[in-house]
Amino acid sequence: MNYLYDFVTLLCIYSVLAIGLNLMIGYTGIFSMSHAALLGVGAYTSALLSMKAGFPFLVSMVCAVIVAALFSAIISVPSLRIAGDYFIVASMSLQIIIYEIFVTWIEVTNGPAGLPGIPRPNLFGFVIKTPQAYMWFSIVMLSLVVAAVYGIIHSPFGRVLRAMKEDPIAVQSLGESVVRAKVTIAILSSAIAGLAGSLYAHKMTFINPATFDIHESITIASMVILAGAGRVWGPIIGVFIIQAFPELLRFLEISGSHVGSIQKALYGLILILLMMFRPQGIFGKFKDTTLGVNKHVAKN
């Protein structure tokens, strides 16, 4: 049973991350290669503040969110002024820089050996320690994130995003800054990644750099691309499919040292086939959602 609780917990945590990344890739068309690193920033920040500075859990979590957002802002603000391809390269660089810092700055992060002994969340006296409790906690957090993203998408800002996807020049000609919208989304998306990182660290109680490397960034991006932008909660399905995938491979009894490579090779193949035959993913494009304002028209 614990196995199931853990599976669902991780599903929720990665869904938070994926929903955040979907804001960038699915809704705004900005491809980020640094989300695993940002997850790591959230994880290490929250872990270190709880362990070394004695901060209460909620404060550590908030700090994780802020620090992740700051790291992203360093590259978003300059590079989104230029063009999407610059952002890809900048985010790849950021991913590598952050990962290398995790590995090299041993005094703080303990390097490849990792950071054990991360405390459980203590919410006003109640300590979340059982797998079941943590599962409910993550479900609640995921629901809050889904509600928040839903609220943002169904707002004037969401409308601007949708228009930007169709014709950014027209958006500018109506007085809205496209760069500002992109930067806002990038920072929001990274803040959410920081939140996921905090949840991850206090769940696993042990973190090490390997979880936050570039291959993980690509996997998370695959989950998002698979799901598409049509539904705010769509990425949950993308995460589920890709989390469940290794279990499936176990059934097929592919043995030995090549399992990892076969799995990754198949991820690559999925991306290729998706892009060739259904680039909008399972849930379709952003434009397929309506934004609710049209209900007012029925009155007239």
Residue type, 76: S
**Parallel/antiparallel/unpaired status of strands 126-127 and 122-123:** antiparallel
Q: Which of residues 91-110 bind other proteins (CB under 8 A)?
A: 92-94, 96-97, 100-101, 103-104
How many residues of this chain bind other proteins (CB under 8 A)? Answer: 79
Among 170, 206, 244, 250, binds other proteins (CB under 8 A): 170
With binding defined as CB under 8 A, does residue 156 bind other proteins?
yes
Among 39, 60, 145, 162, binds other proteins (CB under 8 A): 162
Per-residue contact string for residues 218-257; x = within reach of other proteins by CB under 8 A: x--x---x--------------------------------
Q: Which of residues 253-292 bind other proteins (CB under 8 A)?
A: 258, 261-262, 264-265, 267-276, 279, 287, 291
Per-residue contact string for residues 18-37; x = within reach of other proteins by CB under 8 A: -----------x-x------
Rounded CA gap, 94 and 297, in Å? 46
214-252 burial: b if 16+ Cβ within 10 Å, else e = eebbbbbbbbbbbbbbbbbbbbbbbbbbbbeeeeeeeee
With binding defined as CB under 8 A, does residue 171 bind other proteins?
yes
**Parallel/antiparallel/unpaired status of strands 115-116 and 206-207:** antiparallel
**Cβ atoms of 73 and 187 closer than 8 Å:** yes
CA 176, 178, 182, 184: dihedral to nearest 10 degrees? -20
Q: Which of residues 61-80 bind other proteins (CB under 8 A)?
A: 75, 78-79
With binding defined as CB under 8 A, does residue 1 bind other proteins?
no
Residue 105 C-beta: closest distance to other proteins, Å = 9
Nearest CA to 41 out of 219, 211, 292 is that of: 211
Stretch that binds other proteins, among 116-124, 126-134, 163-171, 234-242 (CB under 8 A): 163-171
Nearer to other proteins, 54 or 268 (CB): 268
